[in-house]
Amino acid sequence: MKKQTVMTAFTMPTRFTEKRSAGRPAAGGFTLLELLLALIVFIGVATAMMVCFSRAASSDAISSENIKAGAAASRVMDSIRDYASANFDKTYANYNSNAADDPGGTGTAPGSTVALSASDAPGPSCTVRIEFPEHNNQLLETITDADWAMPRDLNGDGAVGSSAVNTTYKLLPVRVVVTWQGVRGLSRYTLVTLLTAKQVQR
């Protein structure tokens, strides 16, 4: 009898290797493109926040400047009212730019410009001017100015005349203008009023 030999075939396990796409990381990682996109988004958000903070700071600075300018203009206007309460008919002469007609003698009146201390000024190169409806040192009713609704009758004669009313006015338009170099460049604050003899009497 022949001896039969039984051969058993063994199959070796096949090793599978995952093929990754170029640039594809292992599970849980990020591609270079994803990192770049995240960086772009971060830069965009950071830039927007910086712009917002910068605008807020600029807005605060502008507000502070305007508060100082308004306070300065109010102080000057109050001083004009105080003077006018006892010297209404001399108020124009006391605060205009013509030193020759100063009530107390040439060069004795405050004039049309006011100096502010550094702490009171809203910014560098600050000037404060007092303005009237005038031309060539003449207070006139015929000046066109929307702030004072002019031309208008200032001496109470019922008409708008061409003659100067330097000493005969019953209504005195006054404007205080503050200018300075601010965060927005050249800035301006204006305070306007119409003084009457009755209004300033105490």
The residue extents of the domains of the chain are 37-200
* pLDDT value for 13: 53
Q: Which residue, 123, 122, 121, 139, is CA-closest to 131?
A: 139
Phi, psi for 113 (deg, rounded to 5): -120, 145
The end-to-end CA distance of the chain, in Å, is 149
User: Averaged in consecutive runs of 10 residues, what is the pLDDT profile of the chain (202 residues)?
Assistant: 50 51 56 83 82 68 90 96 95 96 94 93 94 97 96 96 96 97 92 85 48
* pLDDT value for 57: 61
Q: Which residue(s) pair with 178 in the sheet?
A: 128, 189
pTM: 0.70
Cα-based torsion angle of the residue sequence 13, 14, 15, 17 in order, rounded to the nearest 10 degrees = -150
Task: Indicate the helix (H) or strand (E) that contains 171.
Answer: strand 171-182
What is the Cα–Cα distance from 141 to 151, expressed in whole angstroms? Answer: 6
